[in-house]
Structure 1
Amino acid sequence: MASAKVLCVLLNYRTPHMTLRAAEAALADLASIGGELVIVDNASGDGSPEIFREAVSARGWDAGGRVRVIASPVNGGFGAGNNIGMRAGMSDGSAPDYLYLLNSDAFPDPGSIAALRDHLEAHPDAGFACSHIRGEDDAPHTTAFRFPSIAGEFEGAARLGVISRALAHARVPLLDLDTTRAVDWSAGASMMIRRAMIDAIGGFDERFFLYFEETDLCLRAARAGWSCWYVVQSRVVHIGSGSTGMKTAARMPRYWYDSRRHYFIKNHGRAYAACALLAHLAGGVIHRARCALPGARPQDPAHFLRDLIAHAATAYRPKSETRP
């Protein structure tokens, strides 16, 4: 039987040299399984496609269609860019069996991609296999989660021991995972997806510009009977926020609030979304009351609750008032 075909999709936005570093790491790991790679530039406007084409040619990566470069005319966000790559198919026109999404600031250890493929091969009902992620300092990142819920919103915003213990079943982050296991969803920094599942349920919802798109895709998959797995044998170094600048951002960007609201309304309805918002605000008030004690500081970005309330208020204005 022929080996399963893997297509790696590497999305770039204004980080061409880091993306090439990620491509080099991915290609070294793909060599053992014969996969291909497509680099999608998300309308960076900084000459990235030309940099990629020159580097691909100079390094001989284009031999046999091993690496291709696609320039998107618009920046539709994370999901839209990855959808372009997933639709590209293999260089011979055939469809891949698996689609491997890798962030431009993520670098797989040897054997990591094969470990994800092997897990999906061994579990026919699995739609996703995702890697153990760590930082450049070797500290593990939290990338496996439960689906968001009203109780989870309250627990996550309150960050108070007694509440967290009472709502442990709803806590969204899954901490200190040291074994391969099924999870609700995982971050898309290093995620292998079964192509047959995407054919059945569709790709990313492109109404999410950034954030919550993986959550939504995994929820749609779960509702269709597909599982998501966290595979500890697959290990990847991730810098984090290499393209978005979120590490240094003083406030959460509007698209985060847009994505959060769209996720809850789309998947649970407006009433549930409103209750989730109120739960988050109530938890946030508890957190800030606790932080009023000497030596304590809020853990949210600046003006987070104020921005969350202001964003929610736009949902009740006429459309003509919510757009410039």
Structure 2
Amino acid sequence: MSERRVDVVVVNWNSGDCLRACIDSLAGPTGRGQVGDVVVVDNASTDGSAEGLPNWVKLVANPGNIGFAAACNQGADHCASDYLLFLNPDTVVSDDTIQRAAAFLDSRENLVYGICGALAVNRDGSPGLCASRFPTLTNVMAGVLRLDRVVRRWARHLPPEALRRGGPVDQVIGAFFVIRRALFGRLGGFDERYFLYYEEVDLSKRAKLLGFGSYLIVDATFEHIGNVSAKRSGDLALYHSLRSRSLYAFQHWPAWQAYLLIFFTLAVDLPARLLRAVVAKELGDLPRLVRASNSYLRFVLGLDRSAGTS
């Protein structure tokens, strides 16, 4: 097996200086020893973040924003190593993290795992979100109603205390997502109907149905800022989150639960977001929430099936 057996795909959209920090973290002696090709797929950024990258980075520049899932697949088409690492541009990888991920998947004892992730660390050193349960009607509704803070088993995202020793999880987050390339090809890559969000959830679920689980490695870490591009997309981030959540429900839940989720989103989730903004006197958020609500309603009614952001 070749020494460099992990190819890295980074999808960029207006991530500012974060992309350069991410790429720099892959250039260290330990990181480059494990990394094969590094492919940056830029979805028509307007902030210049994809300019001036090192010559060992393959840049794929799209004329428009084709979506995160489609761009990931596009980047994977340029890769040939045993493993694929999908990495968010707002991450910084620790020196031996990629090496530990590759070593885990190399082990014959771990052949039942097709996907692995690492422990996310916030900038202040505190543990970050890095693993979750698969979405269910119960944990989605509990999250909206904030009941997951009272009944932990209803929480979708695993709390830091549950991640101290690592182990099998339903899914690792897409910010640092390593998958066997053969499995990725067998699954047909990411489902490109997910323009943004839930694409890694769906892929992990489909991998699990084929008998390949996900594993969180806690002695491998990466720093994750989170939501850098989303904060620059305004109401579109919320719209795509709700849209992708609905797509996932129709794909993986009984139909009655998916329809109930849509009703819950329109009757409870979106009104609750508007009410919280009013109570918190965050009136500047109201136009964004109204636009996201209107976009989601149009999607539900089939009036607007386009998913693009630009």
The TM tier, using the shorter chain, reads 0.7 to 0.9
Amino acid at match of 1:210: L
Q: How does 1:235-246 map to 2 (within 5 A)?
A: 235-245=221-231
Partner secondary structure for residue 253 of structure 1 = helix
Work out whether 1:104 is the aligned partner of 2:105. Answer: no
Percent identity between the two aligned chains = 27
After superposition, give the CA deviation of every residue in 1:241-286 in whole Å (9 maximum; x if it has no partner).
122216x95795322222111111122254221223455678759x
| Corresponding residue of 1:92 | none
Q: How does 1:129-278 map to 2 (within 5 A)?
A: 129-160=116-147, 164-165=150-151, 168-176=152-160, 177-245=163-231, 253-278=238-263
Give the whole-Å Cα distance in 2 for the aligned partners of 1:87 and 1:34. Answer: 16
Amino acid at match of 1:317: L
| Corresponding residue of 1:317 | 301
Partner secondary structure for residue 19 of structure 1 = helix
Give the whole-Å Cα distance in 2 for the aligned partners of 1:71 and 1:155. Answer: 40
* Runs of 5+ unmatched residues, structure 2: none
Q: Is the 8 A contact 1:155 1:164 kept in 2?
A: no
Work out whether 1:71 is the aligned partner of 2:61. Answer: yes
Displacement, 1:145?
0.5
Q: Is the 8 A contact 1:10 1:102 kept in 2?
A: yes
Aligned residues: 297
Provide the alpha-carbon RMSD of the alignment.
Answer: 3.4
Amino acid at match of 2:113: A
Amino acid at match of 2:15: T
Q: Is the 8 A contact 1:250 1:302 kept in 2?
A: no
Give the whole-Å Cα distance in 1 for the aligned partners of 2:289 and 2:49. Answer: 37
Q: Is the 8 A contact 1:151 1:279 kept in 2?
A: no
- Quickly say closer, same or farther: Cα 1:235–1:318, change in 2 above 3 A: closer
After superposition, give the CA deviation of every residue in 1:11-56 in whole Å (9 maximum; x if it has no partner).
221235321221110121422325221121112245555x23xx42
- Quickly say closer, same or farther: Cα 1:127–1:319, change in 2 above 3 A: same
Partner secondary structure for residue 10 of structure 1 = strand
Amino acid at match of 1:125: V
Q: Is the 8 A contact 1:27 1:37 kept in 2?
A: no
Give the whole-Å Cα distance in 2 for the aligned partners of 1:27 and 1:72. Answer: 24
| Corresponding residue of 1:81 | 71
- Quickly say closer, same or farther: Cα 1:274–1:310, change in 2 above 3 A: farther
Amino acid at match of 1:56: P
| Corresponding residue of 2:14 | 14
Q: Is the 8 A contact 1:251 1:302 kept in 2?
A: no
- Quickly say closer, same or farther: Cα 1:182–1:316, change in 2 above 3 A: closer
Q: Is the 8 A contact 2:243 2:296 kept in 1?
A: no
After superposition, give the CA deviation of every residue in 1:268-321 in whole Å (9 maximum; x if it has no partner).
254221223455678759x89xx8xxxx9699x956997887566445636489
Q: Is the 8 A contact 1:144 1:185 kept in 2?
A: yes
Out of 54, 57, 66, which is 1:56 matched to? Answer: 54
After superposition, give the CA deviation of every residue in 1:84-141 in whole Å (9 maximum; x if it has no partner).
111102xxxxx21000111111001110111111111121121111111111111211
Name the TM-score, length of structure 2 as normaliser: 0.82
Give the whole-Å Cα distance in 2 for the aligned partners of 1:199 and 1:318. Answer: 31
Name the TM-score, length of structure 1 as normaliser: 0.79
Give the whole-Å Cα distance in 1 for the aligned partners of 2:81 and 2:26. Answer: 16
Q: Is the 8 A contact 1:144 1:187 kept in 2?
A: yes
- Quickly say closer, same or farther: Cα 1:282–1:181, change in 2 above 3 A: farther
Q: Is the 8 A contact 1:30 1:36 kept in 2?
A: no
Give the whole-Å Cα distance in 2 for the aligned partners of 1:267 and 1:79. Answer: 18
Give the whole-Å Cα distance in 2 for the aligned partners of 1:146 and 1:320. Answer: 30
Larger Rg: 1
* Runs of 5+ unmatched residues, structure 1: 90-94
